[in-house]
A = this chain, B = another copy of it.
């Protein structure tokens, strides 16, 4: 008769690989139908239950190890459980395991050229181990998850001050100098460098680049939380700056699940400073357009790879994603942009573009969730604040009044109002021609634009929508606006790009100490603490590596560890 028996082992540390092997070995014992081995967290208990492996009436704590055996008979189940100690002791002799240091510090002495430390110990120990790696002046590949957010922030800030990288926590994938750290694929070396807050994202894109015949210089992971508001992209910003300096890297690809919107704009600004074409795939982030200066926005991982390869083939002089080095200067810095639009959708598109580089940004348009934290609602529609984009066709301006496409009175007044504001450096307008619209908008706008250009050092950018067959005479309208001093565009994207050229380089946010390019230079040597799998991966690549035979303090006994900590001399 089917019997489920279990054994509880109170709070102690077991390597996950050991547990996996234990479960697998138990399930193969005679007359055993199934086995479950897990730390007794609520989630794991639910999983055991859904597999019909939860022993009835067991009292367990989350830090307990629970070993469950389902067998044909009670005798078989008991026999299996009696094997647990034997199975736990049976440690496979790993390759290259002649001598294994017990500490990071000893490992560092054995392999002084190691510039990277791979950390994959359980989350609650990981920050401490990573901190010690930084003490040794090593970059950290931090695979461990469940690291406290505050620890991540502290580690990364400290690393930045030391000119070191902390990739992670929860960083699965990196390729440095041709060597795969963690989970990564064997791909051709080449000129495309990647930065990714997404492990499988990096794997998918590097594999596709390889399939398309191109290659990878480096792929730097950051951990999934790096682009959140709290961490504020410390590692991403370091990695972008580093790939910008790296001579092997000609094209940069940046991948992340949707970043915090405020962080997105900082990261995009940093991408603009890279000085190389950058393909951005923020999965689920509505792109502000196809490209913005040196940035191309992809739709999906596959397309990110395709764009990168296309750019790599075209070389750096490529026009499709032109590197704009001409205007590092920011003539309008500190002065604001004011957009006065008649067309609601034109205003909306400008807003989506501007939000990536103009902050703070206000508008009377109620944006969707998508842009809610990068566009602030304007409380008083008669007064602009900071950078402001107005849709003058919204209800608050048009009750009992013609639409601004027909009646320009309101816009002409607003133009003068904005121009008299000393904080304003640029005014952006649209002029929409066609049937139904004002018969000669330039005749009214040109004099005001001339006045503004003459009296204030304000740029006036005008987006003209229309065809040469429209009743207003497109060419004459454009000419008149240009003669008055306006810079005229025919496409929304061009206008956003032109505004961007004036504003794209906010005060540099360079890391305190730039990361040395030596960290990327082959041959890469590393120290591995945690999962043996990663050690094996490095050995298979013939990378110099030392594996630390790590054990948690006091063998994972939390109480004893706390006492030991109190006995240790204060170091901080």
Interface residues of A, Cβ cutoff 8 Å to B: 14, 16-17, 19-20, 23-24, 38-39, 41, 43-44, 46-47, 49-51, 65, 122, 145-146, 172, 180, 182-187, 198-201, 203-204, 207-208, 210-211, 224, 255, 257-258, 283-290, 297, 299-303, 342-346, 348-349, 352, 367-372, 380-383, 395-403, 405-407, 409-410, 413, 417, 430, 432-437, 465-467, 469-471, 490-493, 531, 533-534, 537-538, 540-541
Contacts and interface: CB of A to CB of B under 8 A. Distances in A.
B258 A368 contact: yes
A434 B352 contact: no
A407 B23 CA distance: 11
Most chain B CB atoms below 10 A, which of A186, A255, A469: A186
A186 to B, nearest CB: 4
Given A47-B410, A198-B344, A399-B41, A493 B435 contact: no
A210 B467 contact: yes
Contacts of A349: 283, 300-301
Given A49-B382, A210-B467, 14 more contacts: A51-B413, A182-B436, A186-B469, A199-B343, A204-B346, A211-B467, A283-B286, A283-B345, A284-B286, A302-B491, A302-B492, A302-B493, A435-B541, A436-B537
Contacts of A183: 405, 432, 434-437
Most chain B CB atoms below 10 A, which of A302, A417, A493: A302
A23 B370 CA distance: 40
28 contacts: A17-B402, A24-B409, A41-B400, A46-B382, A65-B400, A145-B395, A146-B399, A185-B433, A185-B466, A187-B467, A200-B343, A200-B346, A201-B345, A203-B434, A207-B466, A207-B467, A258-B368, A284-B368, A285-B370, A286-B286, A290-B299, A290-B300, A301-B349, A302-B493, A406-B531, A435-B541, A436-B534, A471-B540
A224 B400 contact: no
A19 B401 CA distance: 8
Nearest to A203: B465
Most chain B CB atoms below 10 A, which of A200, A286, A368: A200
A400 B48 CA distance: 14
Contacts of A490: 211
The 4 closest A-B pairs by CB, nearest first: A200-B343, A39-B400, A435-B537, A369-B369
B436 A184 contact: yes
A200 B345 contact: yes
Contacts of A207: 465-467
A417 B38 contact: no
A352 B283 contact: yes
Given A284-B371, A300-B349, A541-B435, A224 B185 contact: no
Contacts of A184: 434-436
A286 B288 CA distance: 10
A407 B20 contact: yes
A563 B395 CA distance: 29
Nearest to A344: B200
Contacts of A352: 283-284
B39 A399 contact: yes
A430 B200 contact: yes
Given A200-B430, A300-B493, A540-B435, A257 B345 contact: yes
A14 to B, nearest CB: 8
Nearest to A122: B400
B186 A434 contact: yes
Contacts of A380: 46
A467 B288 CA distance: 33
B370 A400 contact: no
Most chain B CB atoms below 10 A, which of A17, A20, A203, A224: A203
Contacts of A300: 287-290, 349, 492-493
A301 B397 contact: no
A69 to B, nearest CB: 15
B492 A204 contact: yes
Contacts of A403: 172
A16 B401 contact: yes
Contacts of A303: 289-290, 493
B299 A43 contact: no
A413 to B, nearest CB: 5
A305 to B, nearest CB: 9
Given A417-B50, A430-B200, A436 B401 contact: no
Contacts of A396: 43
Most chain B CB atoms below 10 A, which of A257, A299, A491: A299
Nearest to A13: B400
A547 to B, nearest CB: 14
Contact of A434 (B20, B185, B286): B185
Nearest to A541: B435
